[in-house]
Structures are given as structure tokens and as C-alpha cells.
A and B are shown apart, each in its own frame.
Chain A
């Protein structure tokens, strides 16, 4: 074990290798390892975020579905109500129309009866006058008693 210049040589060589390692080996490898670590962390975070988003979307979908169902229910209820209303309304309309038609018919019947009665009365009056004329042909002067006869016929 002789100590000689080798000692100095080894120190220089050691220093040199550390220098090269510091310049060309350590920083790129450690940097790349850190980069990979970050990438993995980012990937995991993205995965977590994706899962969270999916959960939110599922929640929203459920909500939308529920809302849609509610709306549909509401529409059906409205339609049913409207249908009932329409039926009710048409019933009322029909009833009113019927009443109106009955009333019109009644009026017409009344009119026709009045007309018939009028005609009958006129005919009876004429008949009475004719009868009376024939009875009274001899003793009643038509001209003298015309006014009386007119009143009579109006009273019948």
C-alpha cells in the first residue's frame, strides 16, 4: 500500500466522472422520472374527474327523465281534463240546442194552431153568417145589420 501520484489521479478522475454525471446523466434521468410522475398524477386526476363527470351526468339524466315523466303525466292529466270539459260542453250545447229546437217547434205549433183557429173562426163566422143570412134572408136587411154581424163574427 504505497501512497503515490495515483491518489491525485484518482481524485481528478473522480471529480471528472462526477462532473460528467452531473452534466449528462443525472439531470435528464431525474427530470424525466419527475415528468413521468407528473404524467401519472395527471392521468389519475383526469380519471377521477372523468368518473366524477360521469356521476354528475348520470344524476342529471335521472333528473331529466323524472322531469320528463312528470311533464308527460301533467300533459295526460290536462288532456283528460280537457276531454271531460269538451264532453261536458258539447252535452250542454246539445241540450241547449235541443231546448231551442223544442221552443221553436212550440212557437211554430202555437202559430200554426193560432192560424188554424183563426181560419176556423173565420170559416165558422162565414158559416154562421151564411146560416144567419139564409135564416134571416127574408127579414134582415144585410146592409142594415152588417155592423152587428161583423161584431158577432169577431166575438166568435
Chain B
């Protein structure tokens, strides 16, 4: 529930604000104290909470999977190993179904996307007031623990995927073949401007849709948790937050899966000519 001094809108605004470090308008470096100040910091500022939690979760992923990979037993898998195997087999199966080229990067890329995004999404199920309660009394006023509710995180991944699409597109088809796909498809060379317009829009829409889909879903999910916490008396909150959390378990897996699957599809398109 909102603190005594906060109105619901202040409470909500507080919960959707990243912990931003940057240079304030009076010239010194420090954390932004409110949303307006964070916006004024402009591009040269950094969302510390997003960086911290995505780093922690990414390291957790690499540590856990790396541990299993190091101690991998072909004959006697432990429970943890079996669990990891299921995930890897699942990702590998999705790749084999969709991606027909040969590429050593696609597997690790898809696995990292799936597990990392899943772990980041999973933070959404942590009660919304828990980080604030832990940090109470410190100088840190904001802490968004779900990195995928920060558009920087999702857009960062989507742009990386986008760059890989361009890289492999040029590598496989050559610069000419890569550009030809924009020019001579879908209507043949006589409608080149139309082709160009269509293809460029759809090409640049890919990373945007990737990033905004994940961000939108997770931000909306988080916002609903915050709304429930802000507007409903504390003893009634579970009536709404529990069903939403259960439903959200589906959403976080689904969003991780969609991001992974679309990445595979996009890279597959980069490897094949139409």
C-alpha cells in the first residue's frame, strides 16, 4: 500500500521509475530524485538498477549452466543436469525446426535469450514493495528489479539481434544479395521504389517489434501489480494479485519463448534467400 505521504499516482510513479545515475542540471553527478530529473539527464545517464539486475541474472545463468556443463555426466545425470538438459533440448529443438543453416552462434544466442529473459521476467513475481522495503532508510529511492520493464534492456537485445541479422545477411548473401532483397522483392524490379519502402519498413520494424513486445508485456504486467498494490486495501490485494501472478507465470515464459523464436526466425531469414 502507498505510504502515508504518497498519493496513489505518486506511488505508481515511484514504482515505475528506474534508479538513474547521471549529471543533474546543476552540474554534479548523482542519482535522479524524480522522473523529471531523470529525463533531464538525457542520454548520458545510466539506469543502475537495470544494469545491476540484468548482470546478476546473466551471471546466475552462466554460472548455473556453466557448472552443469563442466560436470556434465553422460551416464548419470543429476536432477539439476536433467533440468538443464530439458531446457537445452527444448531450445535446440526449436532451432532445428526453424533454422536450417549452419551457424555456431545461433544455439548459444537462443539459449541466452531464452534463459536470461526468463530470469529477468521472473523478477516480476517478486512483490512490488519488497525492494523498497529493504532499501528503506537508505539514499536509494528507486529500485526496479525487473530489467525487462526497462525499454533500454529489451531494445539493447533487439538491436544486438538486428545487428546480427545484418551481419549474417551480408556474410551469407554478400552486400549485393543483401541489398537486392530490399530492391527486387516482393514485386520485381519494375516496382523498385515500392519494394524498397515495404521492405525497409518491415526490416526496421523487426527489432522494434521485438523490443516493444517484450517491454510492453512486462511493463504492463508490472504496472498491474503496482496498481493492485496502490489502489486496493492490503488485506484484499491477494484476491487480484494472486490470479494475476499465476497468469503472469505463463506470460513470462511465453515472452521469453517468443523473443527467442523470433530471433531464430529472423536469423534464419538472414541465412536464406527468398
Please report A residues at the B interface, Cβ cutoff 8 Å: 1-11, 13-18, 20-22, 24-26, 28-30, 32-33, 35-36, 39
Contact = CB atoms under 8 A, between A and B. Distances in A.
Most chain-A CB neighbours within 10 Å: which of B39, B72, B108, B109?
B108
B69 A10 contact: no
Contact of A4 (B41, B105, B108): B41
Interface stretch (B42-50, B127-135, B182-190): B42-50
A108 B39 CA distance: 158
Contacts of A28: 69-70, 72
B88 A6 contact: no
Nearest to A22: B108
Contact of B157 (A14, A21, A25, A33): A14
A17 B116 contact: yes
B81 to A, nearest CB: 9
A21 B104 CA distance: 11
Interface residues of B: mostly helix, strand, loop or mixed? helix
Contact of B43 (A5, A14, A15, A33): A5
Contact of B62 (A2, A24, A39): A24
Nearest to B157: A14
A2 B43 CA distance: 8
5 contacts: A3-B155, A5-B46, A18-B108, A25-B65, A25-B66
B22 interface: yes
Interface in B94-132: 104-105, 107-109, 111-112, 116
Given A2-B38, A6-B150, A25-B69, A18 B105 contact: yes
B54 interface: yes
Contacts of A4: 20, 22, 41-47, 152
A29 B108 CA distance: 11
Contacts of A16: 58
Contacts of A11: 156-157, 159-160
B84 interface: yes
Given A2-B20, A18-B105, A29 B65 contact: yes
A3 B152 contact: yes
Most chain-B CB neighbours within 10 Å: which of A16, A17, A33?
A17
Nearest to B69: A28
Given A25-B108, A28-B70, A5 B45 contact: yes
A22 B104 contact: yes
Contact of A10 (B45, B50, B105): B50
Contacts of A5: 43-46
B107 A20 contact: no
B74 interface: yes
Interface in B38-93: 38-39, 41-47, 50-51, 54-55, 58, 61-62, 65-66, 68-70, 72, 74, 84-85, 88-89, 92
B69 A7 contact: no
A39 B159 CA distance: 41
A13 B55 contact: yes
Contact of B74 (A17, A22, A32): A32
A31 to B, nearest CB: 9
B151 interface: yes
Given A14-B157, A26-B111, A20 B62 contact: yes
B112 A10 contact: no
Nearest to A21: B108
B51 A32 contact: no
Contacts of B112: 14, 17-18, 21
